[in-house]
Amino acid sequence: MASQPKLLKMNKQEKVDFGFCMSILIPIMLLFAFIRFIPIIQTFVISFFKKSMIRPGQSFIGLENYIYVLTDTEFIRSLKNTFLITVFSMSLSVLGGLFLASVVNSGRKLMKLWQALLFLPVIVSLVPSTLMWKMLFDYNIGVINQIFNVFGIQSINWINNESLVTVPIIVVSVWKEMGYNMMIFYVGLKAISRELYESAALDGVNHWQRLRYITIPQLKPITLFVCVMAMIKFVKVFTQAITMTSGSQSSGNTFKTLVYYIYQQGFSLHSMGRASAAAMVLLLIILLLTALQMRLSKED
Amino acid sequence: MSTASKHKFTLFDIVCLVIFFILLIITLFPLYFMLITAFKTPAEINQVPVTIFPHEIYMGNFSKIFHDEFFLRYFLNSVISSVIITVVSVIGSALAGYVFAKFKFPLKSVFFYAILATIMVPFESFVVPLYTFVRNLHGVNTYFGLVIPSIISSFGIFFMKQNMEQIPDALVEAAKIDGAGNWKILRTIIMPLSVSSLSVLSILLFLTAWSDYLWPLIIATSQKMFVLEIGLTLLQDEYFTDYGQMMAGCAVALVPALILFIFFRRHIMEGIAMSGIKG
């Protein structure tokens, strides 16, 4: 309504431009409505209904789905698993990425080549990555158990045990994320002015002091940012978990994560209401992390 | 202290380099081991201790995969859906990016922030209603169903807007004075100047589409419509995993990404780092 007078005041060129913009934006916004806005709102609404994926009909049940989900031991376990993976994968991949970036940034010979090779896992998709590591962690023929055997440690059945399978899942996640974090830190390190280092060199500062008093403080904002980005990614962990525990060896052992729980409630148990309530929990966590990230980037 | 830092290698440097190369080996070893396992005979794969160099180059795993009636189909499905997603979403991003970068109109910021806000909402959180929507359109087990959720990219629109804003307004104004219409300006000025950002975006969106897992898992229930990522996990069953075949499959799945990486390494690495920092 408010735009009506403005539209009338437009000259001919402005009207043509407006028509052009709308002819592009209206189809795009419609598509967004159907594949983003409406499903997002529906998730919120359905989380208050008892609604089946396969049978028609629905009934309003208030907070019952939330109560069911939040008191479900399976859900609590999936939250715990997700938390474990997020914390370990984030800290290891951020530390590793920071370390690799600082070595790559030293400008030694062949560093460009090593950097490209270190980046490779980022472009490898998750399923092949997980399957590769699954083979390395195999009970019978896996390289990792064989290395353990050399040191006199008995073979460990990594995949078959619900708590042990966390290890290969974290390893895959770190393996895939480290190169990505390396690139972001690398860009950040490049941005630190050379003059800072040069004047420090004149003062006879050693490597450790340089790291402690220049690099780390200068990189603090970007480090916080990378941590939150990694957390947002790992809270959604699913592919690694389902691939690592599917098929042989796992003997029905499933490693539930938050997204796995949503998937199972929705597509195996056909309960749209419970799946939506769990999805709202995921959404809430991600939005909190995003708000944190925005606050951090405003402080810069 | 000052004499130590003048040396080429201090103890600190050496420790760093050793850790660095250990991490490099950990990064590359799984890829190397996947490749050699794909060329090992089943007997050699199950041999203990493992062999780090294969005794002979065995092509059986690859020939088994390529004679599997479904495997080629999975590959084809991945190619078809990823290419459709890339082409359509890049075109949409370019058009919307142009509109947001170079025009002023009522409600512009409302539209833009509505799109931007969807970047933050994880796909996993609204996948259930989205599935029922696509199912009602008879999208289960169709290419339409496979591509529809990714056919438009809010990140892509944001990315193209940022890049097209760098194109000087004076160029656009000059063309307008010469009587060029908006479509002509888009075709003759904006597009040619956006080639590099368009190619970075295409590669990023292709790689994302290629590695998509959750959506293809739920929308394709018939084996004929499975994509490669799903197909690979089917090469293992409850009692036995044929690692040779599986690793050969993984190697094949890596080929498109690897080709892109070899030719556009710098673009991909900078593009991904930049998109992380900006987005």
Chosen from B126, B217, B232 to mutate, greatest number of chain A CBs within 10 A: B126
Chosen from B93, B123, B124 to mutate, greatest number of chain A CBs within 10 A: B124
First to last CA, chain B: 42
Q: Is the minimum CB–CB distance between B126 and chain A shorter than 8 Å?
A: yes
Query: Which residues lie closer than 8 Å to B215 by C-beta, 6 or more apart?
Result: B123, B127, B146, B149, B150
Show the DSSP H helices in chain B as ranges: 2-6, 11-38, 42-45, 60-67, 71-102, 108-120, 127-136, 143-147, 154-164, 169-177, 182-185, 191-193, 195-210, 214-219, 228-233, 243-278
pLDDT at residue B239 is higher than 80: no
Chain B, 145 to 174: residues with Cβ < 8 Å from chain A are: 148-149, 151-152, 154, 157
Residues of A in contact with B99 (CB under 8 A): 20-21, 24-25
* Residues facing residue A170 across a β-bridge: none
Closest Cα to residue B149, out of B214, B200, B222? B214
Beta strand extents in chain A (DSSP E only): 49-51, 58-60
Would the CB atoms of A146 and B237 count as touching at under 8 Å?
A: no
Residues of B in contact with A18 (CB under 8 A): 105
Chain B, 215 to 274: residues with Cβ < 8 Å from chain A are: 218, 229, 232-233, 236-241, 243, 246-247, 250, 253-254, 257-258, 260-261, 265, 268-270, 272-274
Chain B, 54 to 83: residues with Cβ < 8 Å from chain A are: none
**pLDDT (tens digit per residue) in B81-91:** 999 999 999 99
Mean pLDDT of B190-206: 93
Dihedrals phi, psi of A58, to nearest 5 degrees: -155, 155
| pLDDT attached to residue A8 | 65
Closest Cβ–Cβ partner in A38, A128, A133 for B232: A128
How long a stretch of residues is chain A?
A: 300
Q: Is the minimum CB–CB distance between B131 and chain A shorter than 8 Å?
A: yes
* Angle, CA of A109, A110 and A114, to the nearest 5°: 135
3-state secondary structure of A60: strand
Residue of A nearest to B268 (CA): A123
Closest Cα to residue A273, out of A285, A260, A262? A262
Would you tell me how many other CB atoms lie within 10 Å of the CB of residue B164? 21
**Residue A56 one-letter amino acid:** P
| pLDDT attached to residue B191 | 93
Homologous superfamily (CATH) for A65-299: MetI-like (1.10.3720.10)
Would you tell me how many other CB atoms lie within 10 Å of the CB of residue A61? 15
Residue of B nearest to A203 (CA): B2
Confidence of residue A4 (pLDDT cuts 50, 70, 90): low
Tell me how far apart the alpha carbons of residues A125 and B229 are, in angstroms, rounded to a whole number. Answer: 8
pLDDT at residue A153 is higher than 60: yes
Tell me how far apart the alpha carbons of residues B88 and B111 are, in angstroms, rounded to a whole number. Answer: 20
| pLDDT attached to residue A253 | 64
pLDDT at residue B2 is higher than 50: no
Residues of A in contact with B131 (CB under 8 A): 266-267
Confidence of residue A240 (pLDDT cuts 50, 70, 90): very high
Looking at domain B65-278, its CATH class is mainly alpha
Size of interface A-B (CB pairs under 8 A): 271
| For chain A, domain boundaries | 65-299
Contact assessment for residue B16 and residue A215, using Cβ atoms and an 8 Å cutoff: no
Would you tell me how many other CB atoms lie within 10 Å of the CB of residue A208? 11
Mean pLDDT of A14-26: 92
| For chain B, domain boundaries | 2-58, 65-278
Closest Cβ–Cβ partner in A21, A29, A127 for B105: A21
Closest Cβ–Cβ partner in A126, A135, A243 for B243: A135
Would the CB atoms of B103 and A259 count as touching at under 8 Å?
A: no
Q: How confident is the prediction for chain A on average, in pLDDT?
A: 89
Residue of B nearest to A281 (CA): B125
Closest Cβ–Cβ partner in A21, A25, A141 for B45: A141
Query: Which residues lie closer than 8 Å to A90 by C-beta, 6 or more apart?
Result: A227, A230, A231, A234
Residue of B nearest to A233 (CA): B122
- The alpha-carbon gap from B141 to the nearest alpha carbon of chain A, in Å, equals 15
Longest CA–CA separation in chain B, Å = 76
Would the CB atoms of A38 and B182 count as touching at under 8 Å?
A: no
Closest Cβ–Cβ partner in B47, B128, B213 for A127: B213
Mean pLDDT of B241-246: 89
Chosen from B27, B40, B89, B177 to mutate, greatest number of chain A CBs within 10 A: B27
Mean pLDDT of B255-275: 87
Q: Is the minimum CB–CB distance between B45 and chain A shorter than 8 Å?
A: yes
Instruction: Determine which of A201-205, B74-78, B194-198 has the lowest per-residue pLDDT on average.
Output: A201-205
pLDDT at residue A1 is higher than 50: no
Q: How confident is the prediction for chain B on average, in pLDDT?
A: 90
Mean pLDDT of A117-145: 93
Show the DSSP H helices in A110-215 as ranges: 111-123, 126-136, 143-150, 166-191, 194-202, 207-210
Which tops the pLDDT comparison, A5 or B45?
Answer: B45
| pLDDT attached to residue B276 | 62
Mean pLDDT of A98-124: 90
**pLDDT (tens digit per residue) in B30-58:** 999 999 999 999 889 888 888 888 888 89
Mean pLDDT of B196-219: 94
Mean pLDDT of B230-257: 88
pLDDT at residue B11 is higher than 60: yes
Mean pLDDT of A263-269: 92
Residue of B nearest to A251 (CA): B238
Mean pLDDT of A2-31: 82
Closest Cβ–Cβ partner in B124, B232, B243 for A236: B124
**pLDDT (tens digit per residue) in A31-59:** 999 999 999 999 999 999 999 988 888 88
**pLDDT (tens digit per residue) in B129-172:** 999 999 999 999 999 999 999 999 999 999 999 999 999 999 98
pLDDT at residue A79 is higher than 60: yes
Closest Cα to residue B105, out of A5, A2, A23, A22? A22
Percent of chain B, pLDDT > 90?
Answer: 70
* Residues facing residue A271 across a β-bridge: A52
Would the CB atoms of B129 and A238 count as touching at under 8 Å?
A: no
pLDDT at residue B278 is higher than 60: no
| pLDDT attached to residue A251 | 54
| pLDDT attached to residue B236 | 77
Percent of chain A, pLDDT > 70?
Answer: 94
Percent of chain B, pLDDT > 70?
Answer: 94
